[in-house]
Amino acid sequence: MTTQPVGFTLVQLRYFVTAAECGSMTAASEKLRIAQSAVSSAITNLEHELRVQLFIRHRARGLTLTSAGERLQHQARELLARARDVEAEARGSGGSLAGPVSVGCFVTLAPYYLPALFAACSEQHPGIELNVVEAEAEQLIHALQTGKIDFALTYDLGMAANPEVRREIIAQAPAYVIVPEKHRLADRASVELAELAAEPMVLLDLPYSRDYFRALVAATGVAPDIRYRTQSYETVRSLVAQGLGYSVLNQRPVTSQTYAGGDVVSLELSEDHPPLDVTIALVDGIRQTLRAQAVVELLRGIGRA
């Protein structure tokens, strides 16, 4: 079987990806520690070989990827990652994983999963360098599709609408209520949302999450009286601790004390409400590097714990 020659090199792809990430030839040359002319020449030759324009070059304003450049950036990152795996196994170091893994994480999940992930990775795969992007669901989907992250740890909110994204459930997070320490229901073990529906609600106001929480309350037949909105999980808890309302959340801190010093009381929901699925989201059809596969396996274990 004859192998057809390829008209470009991994070096050219590396220079192209670096220039795309940096937004300019000058910044790319500084990061790569080579002459700017070498970066520019490599990218020009790459464009010539592929017969496409990869960048729009702006005088004094850097570089903008063309649509062809955006597609190649994603593919080039994957190819370079594959090449690093091949190099590691050829050197006989396949059992000792090393190199970067980019992980996306939904903002409210980060405090609960990332510390355990960093600790486990440091112990079992000390050569892996974890790079984390904390963001909301839509931003994580975009980061997946553009190849900025290898996979995302997120709630299964808004993911089903994207056929390019493959999801794997690793845990479930049931909804629960928090009320102030001196609330009339604070001594109860569980409540029905209908008992709180007429009271002020503090809403964790993140895309998709807000719709989930509002729907839980609206299912009681009473529209939620949302008095306060915030995108900060801990600010929600602090507002509730100050007696400004109740809230519905999913992840549970091990302490009842808030950053502001007040306390909240967590109450189970006596009704059967759908939990949020905690998922690992990946771009369907893209094979993960050995490093990324190892990190995904660590997250599976954390989810089962």
Kindly report the three-state secondary structure assignment for every residue of 174-189.
Answer: CCEEEEECCCCCCCCC
Q: Looking only at Cα atoms, what is the longest distance across the chain?
A: 78
Q: Which region among 29-38, 39-48, 70-79, 258-267 has the lowest average model confidence (pLDDT)?
A: 70-79
Residue type, 185: L
Cα separation of the two ends of the chain: 49
Provide the β-strand partners of residue 265.
Answer: 179
Mean pLDDT of 239-266: 95
Q: Please check the confidence at residue 82 and state whether its pLDDT lies above 90.
A: no
d(CA 168, CA 49): 39
Q: What is the percentage of the chain residues whose pLDDT exceeds 90?
A: 61
Encode pLDDT of 205-244 as tens digits.
998 889 999 888 888 888 889 999 999 999 999 999 999 9
d(CA 89, CA 111): 34
d(CA 86, CA 237): 48
Mean of the per-residue pLDDT values of the chain: 89
Question: Phi, psi at residue 293, to the nearest 5°?
Answer: -60, -40
8 A C-beta contact, residue 41 and residue 8: no
Provide the β-strand partners of residue 131.
Answer: 102
Alpha helices in the chain (DSSP H): 10-22, 25-32, 36-50, 67-90, 110-124, 137-145, 209-218, 233-241, 290-304
Predicted pLDDT at 192: 92
Mean pLDDT of 128-133: 93
DSSP 8-class letter at 45: H
The H or E element spanning position 202 is: strand 200-204
Q: Please check the confidence at residue 245 and state whether its pLDDT lies above 90.
A: yes
Among 236, 246, 238, 241, CA closest to 267: 246
Residues 6+ apart with CB under 8 A from 164: 144, 145, 283, 284
Provide the β-strand partners of residue 62.
Answer: 58
Predicted pLDDT at 89: 62
Q: Which residue has the tokens 């063309």?
A: 66
pTM of the full structure: 0.72
Distance of CA 168 to the CA centre of its chain: 14
8 A C-beta contact, residue 103 and residue 149: yes
